[in-house]
A and B are shown apart, each in its own frame.
Chain A
Amino acid sequence: MDFTLILFIILAVTAVATAAGLLLSRSAVYAALFLVLNFACVAVFYLILGAPFVAMAQVTVYAGAIMVLFLFVIMLLGVEKLPKGDVLPWQRPLAIVAAAILLAEAGFLLFERARTSSLLALPGAEANTMDSLREMATVLFNQYLLPFEVTSILLLVAMVGAIVLTKREKGEPA
């Protein structure tokens, strides 16, 4: 057992545990907080995998903006807990079966088709240089310029959409 493997196991267990917490927690606030922890674990994975920029973007956008927005909406609407009552009693067992099938399928494909030989080492000092960030920016703004622009327009459209959806007409009761 080397150090990185121990780190990986700790993080993986935390990630799975927090995902389970998301699934099982009664209160939506706790679910959101579990998801934040999960995102933090994934951010650390990105750091281990030599992607500091993506890790920081993950924390800033997911943990800092998206989940705060979720919490904001949960608190604004006051919907921490839903009243009891199951409309579809057969839904839960069916869902678990479907998830098990999905997991089995993914596992089968992974072990049958993926190249399992490659070992991922911790990144060296080269991940912590400005050159790597510059190269990444060059790729982003040359090769992927069109997707970048499309994404920015998508964000603009989403912003307009969010405002239109929640805006009250004049005279409409609150």
Chain B
Amino acid sequence: MTLGNVLEWLIKGLVWVLILLGGFAYLTYYERRALARIQVRIGPNRAGPFGLLQPIADAIKLVFKEEFIPARADKLLFILAPIITLTPALVITAVVPFGNEPFLLFGRTITWQIADINVGVLYIMSIASIAVYGIVLAGWSSNNKYAMLGGLRSTAQMISYELALGLSFVTVILLAGSTRMIDIVEAQRQGWFLLLQPVGMAIFLIATLAEVNRAPFDMPEAEQELAAGYHSEYGGMKFALLFMAEYDKMIAICTIAAALFFGGYLGPDLSGLPVVGGFLKYVQGPIYMFLKVFILLFGMIWVRATLPRIRYDRLMAFGWKILLPLSLALIFVTACGILLAQDVDPLFRWSIPLASLVAGFLAILGMYQTLRRKEHARA
């Protein structure tokens, strides 16, 4: 461990954090514009050309808002909670690789990854599991019953969906035979894990929606029932931090989803192009990553625009009774498929998606039998 190493980590981390912060600002703009289009509106278009300065205007507004701490709130935790919420959102993507072509800079070989550790997926798991603290503490320290209910709801929800999330990670680990993120992406050269484990991807996306409290699982901050839940007492920059955490988590999980299921930085090789090929060789990985994250983010916004919030007891029942057994079944069929492919014939690898789709079908059957809204008899 040399000074150079430390400097490299610091600079890479700083650059990525800055990208995340800028990304947060423009993700709010992206979401508002996309939601507006879905609702046949235009969206923010006043501040600057196409409303591109809108996030900056919002930031300025938030900075000048009054900072407010409720009476009998726990002051220390009230101030700490937004920071505790934001930190995991910023650090969780440290292990995601953004490209595989290292480049030379100041005599050092720089890789497109902040930390290349062998337990990369487990790192993501563990950071995802501590992300709940900020929300719980924000809810508790506000000394407000709605905030508290939001915090408790989010604890229960995040613990429940973490299991399905972790198990869907396991299918990826099995398919790639590694917990190192770069190995997982490289293992997708033959085919994205989206094709090999479609239902696993679906579970991952659903569970992450619940993890980051996005619609239709935005129970902890349900505006209508809980008056915005855990952040109802927050204003000004503290609210901005909570908001930032939520959107940075969206970016983070889309980045992780892109790396785990959508081939990460892989894509058609452009380095053969005449003029820009030499340059593209290095940056095509990040560009593909950006495109995938952009599309996945649109998916999240699209789901938010479409689906209404589901009821709390159904959310829990769905997590424990459907997603958890389904993801266990997926691990089983994935392991069986890998074993068959190893010992009998490599073509058995394609039995995994088939079996996983069958398992998904059975899960829908189970959902149809137990969770379906009962038809009321009408006179």
Contacts and interface: CB of A to CB of B under 8 A. Distances in A.
Interface of A: 3, 29, 33, 36, 52-53, 55-57, 59-60, 63-65, 68-69, 71-72, 75-76, 127-130, 132-133
A140 B110 CA distance: 36
A72 B162 contact: no
A96 B80 CA distance: 33
A160 to B, nearest CB: 14
Contacts of B77: 29, 33
Nearest to A64: B129
A64 B162 contact: yes
Contacts of A60: 122, 125-126, 129, 166
Given A75-B136, A128-B118, A129-B118, A56 B155 contact: no
A146 B162 CA distance: 27
Contacts of A128: 116-118
Given A29-B140, A52-B119, A53-B122, A68 B183 contact: no
Given A65-B159, A72-B136, 15 more contacts: A29-B74, A29-B77, A29-B137, A59-B126, A64-B126, A64-B128, A64-B130, A72-B155, A72-B156, A72-B159, A75-B148, A75-B151, A130-B178, A133-B118, A133-B119
B133 A36 contact: yes
Given A59-B129, A65-B129, A69-B159, A75 B152 contact: yes
Given A63-B130, A68-B155, A130-B180, A56 B125 contact: yes
A60 B162 CA distance: 10
A53 B159 CA distance: 21
Contacts, number: 80
Contacts of A64: 125-126, 128-130, 132, 162
A132 B132 CA distance: 31
B282 interface: no
A68 B126 contact: no
B119 A56 contact: yes
Contacts of B126: 56, 59-60, 63-64
A60, A75, A127: most-surrounded residue (chain B CB, <10 A): A60
Contact of B140 (A3, A57, A59, A75): A75
Contacts of B148: 75
Nearest to B117: A128
Contacts of A53: 119, 122
Contacts of B151: 75
Given A53-B119, A53-B122, A72-B156, A130 B133 contact: no
Interface in B158-183: 158-159, 162, 166, 178-180, 183
A65 B118 CA distance: 22
Given A36-B133, A65-B129, A68-B132, A52 B118 contact: yes
Interface residues of B, number: 33
B136 A71 contact: yes
Nearest to A43: B126
Contacts of B158: 68
B26 interface: no
Nearest to A59: B126
Contacts of B180: 130
A133 B179 contact: yes
A68 B122 contact: no
Contacts of B166: 60
B239 interface: no
A117 B127 CA distance: 37
B123 interface: yes
A71 B135 CA distance: 12
A149 to B, nearest CB: 16
Given A52-B119, A133-B118, A133-B179, A76 B152 contact: yes
B174 to A, nearest CB: 12
A55 B126 CA distance: 9
Nearest to A122: B1
Nearest to B125: A60
B152 A72 contact: yes
Contacts of B118: 52, 127-130, 132-133
B133, B151, B162: most-surrounded residue (chain A CB, <10 A): B133
Contacts of B155: 68, 71-72
Contacts of B133: 36, 68, 71
Smallest CB-CB A-B distances: 9 pairs: A64-B129, A59-B126, A56-B122, A60-B126, A52-B119, A72-B155, A56-B126, A56-B119, A128-B118
